[in-house]
Amino acid sequence: MSKKYTVRPATAAGLFYEISPEILRENIKGYLENARVPQQKGTVRALISPHAGYVYSGFAAAHAYKMIEGSTYDCVIVVGPSHREYFKGVSIYPGDAYETPLGTIPIHKEIREELLKEKTVILSSDEGHRSEHSIEVQLPFLQSVLGDFSFVPVVMGDQHRQVCSELAKAIVRTAANRNILIIASSDLSHYHPYDEAVLLDTVVIDELEKFNSESFIDKMENHAFEACGGGPIAVVMNAARQLGANKTEILYYCNSGDITGDKSGVVGYLAAALV
């Protein structure tokens, strides 16, 4: 008997973004058309993109995805934090595909198996994937700018320095001699007054511009900033540098106060490219 084809359903559709394929396509098209990004002067190795509801962070995310519009990749690796389940190390979805209202995206099984060779921290598991939105909300944007592609969803159950280092090492080993895009899914500070949030988020931007993942982790461990996907950002920064990136393009920053007008307690959103 053949093995059942396992698809992870779209649990964030209708909550973080539109469930209607037609409306979702139109929303993303509008975000992309209005995003303004610098003319590329290098190869985009990695992106940093927010993962809130599209009404809040969709326009910010569009700036990241506009940088790769029309590109082709052997595989996309999306690294996100786990909001609802705590587990040690890193999990990769063991099934065959993820689903969104725009269609089904196959898991690149060869890349997954190569990443899973780093057995000390990376496991094949449903943990962190069942209802996690940080990976899923990136996918309709990827479907819109890339068309058909395959990917590997990587969820960090913990974001300790050693886990970040081992995951980055596995990505670099796997991505060598391949055309792979790496994405870190992260929002920034949460529920501080507007001006305080901007100060905290500026620390993240400054660290990204320094392009030093060890310094970034130092600041993260010392609570100099907030980022729910700080670990994914550190991983992606580390891996992208080893894969040839040497510059950060800060594409767009805003927070929820800029959208809603309520500045009493805001959430920060950043789009960046590592080139």
Written as tens digits, the pLDDT of the chain (275 aa) is 457 899 999 999 999 999 999 999 999 999 999 999 998 778 999 999 999 999 999 999 999 999 999 999 999 999 999 998 999 999 999 999 999 999 999 999 999 999 999 888 999 999 999 999 999 999 999 999 999 999 999 999 999 999 999 999 999 999 999 999 999 999 999 999 999 999 999 999 999 999 999 999 999 999 999 999 999 999 999 999 999 999 999 999 999 999 999 999 999 999 999 99
Give the Cβ contact number of residue 207 at 10 Å. Answer: 25
Q: Tell me, what's the pLDDT at 1?
A: 43
Q: How many angstroms separate the CA atoms of 224 and 19, rounded?
A: 37
Q: What is the dihedral of CA 223, 210, 173, 79, to 10 degrees?
A: 50
- Mind listing the domains of the chain with CATH numbers? 7-274 (3.40.830.10)
Of 13, 268, 269, nearest to 136 (Cα)? 13
- Write the DSSP symbol of residue 86: -
Q: What are phi and psi of 144, to 5 degrees?
A: -75, -35
Q: Tell me, what's the pLDDT at 41?
A: 72
Is residue 121 a contact partner of residue 166, using CB atoms and an 8 Å limit? yes
- Kindly report whether the global pTM for this prediction surpasses the value 0.85: yes
Q: How many angstroms separate the CA atoms of 32 and 220, rounded?
A: 31
Q: How many angstroms separate the CA atoms of 225 and 199, rounded?
A: 9
Q: What kind and span of H or E run contains 78? A: strand 75-81
Q: Which two tokens stand for residue 109?
A: 């099984």
Is residue 80 a contact partner of residue 232, using CB atoms and an 8 Å limit? yes
Q: Which two tokens stand for residue 54?
A: 């599209």
Q: Which two tokens stand for residue 148?
A: 């058909």
Q: Tell me, what's the pLDDT at 39?
A: 84
Q: Which amino acid is at 178?
A: R
Of 223, 227, 222, nearest to 186 (Cα)? 227
Beta bridge partners of 77: 152, 182
Q: Which two tokens stand for residue 73?
A: 């990749």
